Amino acid sequence: MTDYNHILLATDLSDKSDYVAEQAKKMADKSSAKLSTIYVMEHSPAAYGGEFSIPIDANLEEILEKQARDTLAKLGKKYGIDAAHQHLANGSVKMAVAETAEEIKADLIIVGTHSHHGLDVLLGSRANAILHRAKCDVLVVRIKE
C-alpha cells in the first residue's frame, strides 16, 4: 500500500460519518500524513416566484453555514484536524471535493458510502462522482448500517 502525504476526508457531518473519520485518522496516522476535511453545503431550498428564486428564510444559508462550521470544528477537535485544514465549500460535492483536493495537494480522498438501490448500489452517487472527478486516489469506506 502506498504511503500518503496528505489525506482529505470528505464528510457529510452525519452521525454515521464518524466511522469514516475514524478510518481516515487511522490511515493518516499509519502514513504520518496530514489530515484535512471538507464538508460541502449543497444549495439551500428556495421558493420560486416568477423569474426569481429567493431562499425560504433569508437567514437560512447563514444559519446552516454556522451549524456546519461548528460541527466541522467538533469533528476537527475529535480527530486532531486543526482549523486551517477544515474546509467548508458550497455547490457541487464532486466539484468542490476534487478542486479542494487539488488545491491542498491531497494525494488521497476518503469518502463514505451508504447502501443504495439501483445504479448507485456499488458506490453511491456522491462517492461515485468524487471517484470519477478526482485526480488522486480515492478510498471509499462502507458505512455500516
Helix or strand (DSSP H, E) at 100: helix 93-103
Domain assignment present for 1: no
Domain assignment present for 123: yes
Phi and psi torsions of 48, nearest 5°: -100, 130
pTM: 0.83
Say which CATH number the domain at 69 has: 3.40.50.620
Range of the domain at 51: 6-142
Q: What is the pLDDT along the chain (145 residues), one digit of tens a residue?
A: 578 999 999 999 988 889 999 999 999 999 999 999 999 997 655 555 555 555 556 677 788 899 999 999 999 999 999 999 999 999 889 899 999 999 999 999 999 886 554 444 444 577 888 988 899 999 989 887 6
State residue 9's pLDDT score: 97
